[in-house]
Amino acid sequence: MYHNILVPISFDTERDISGPLKLAELLATPEAQITLLHVVEHIPAYAISYMPTDYLVETRVAIERELQALADPLPNAKAVVIEGHKGRSILDWAEENKPDLIIVASHRPGMQDLLLGSTATQIVRNARCAIHVVR
């Protein structure tokens, strides 16, 4: 049983987030803190000039709302949205907040993952706590 669980959430269509959420609830102690974390990737400066001025604010609000809706049914859960590179930012957040378990969803690896690596791979290789990968 774990007391501080981090569940990185990706809203990609190929990711099934129900598995990690169920597992977090199952592995949590009654008083455990569960954090659902979403990382918003930076948009390059050359691309941002083509977007509406309020795009980033509206997108962040929508993500926060959706993430909180996922957290609401879980006991002692909170939603956190940060900005940065997915893998590195998740690891930095974990280093600061010291979860004792990270539950990360993964997809079937493809050729691009063999060449570049996936977020789940980066977390598994570099996190300093227990990791549970859900596929």
Tens-digit pLDDT profile for the chain (135 aa)?
Answer: 999 999 999 998 777 899 999 999 999 999 999 999 999 998 888 888 888 889 889 999 999 999 999 999 999 999 999 999 999 999 999 999 999 999 999 876 665 555 445 888 899 999 999 999 998
> Which pLDDT value is given to residue 107?
72
Share in percent of the chain as helix, strand, coil (round to 5): 40, 25, 30
Other Cβ atoms less than 10 A from the Cβ of 33: the count is: 17
Other Cβ atoms less than 10 A from the Cβ of 115: the count is: 7
pTM score above 0.95: no
**Rounded Cα distance, 116 and 7, in Å:** 22
Q: Which amino acid is at 59?
A: T
> All domains of the chain, ordered by start, with CATH?
2-134 (3.40.50.620)
Give the distance from CA 127 to its chain's centroid: 14
**Rounded Cα distance, 8 and 106, in Å:** 11
> Which pLDDT value is given to residue 43?
87
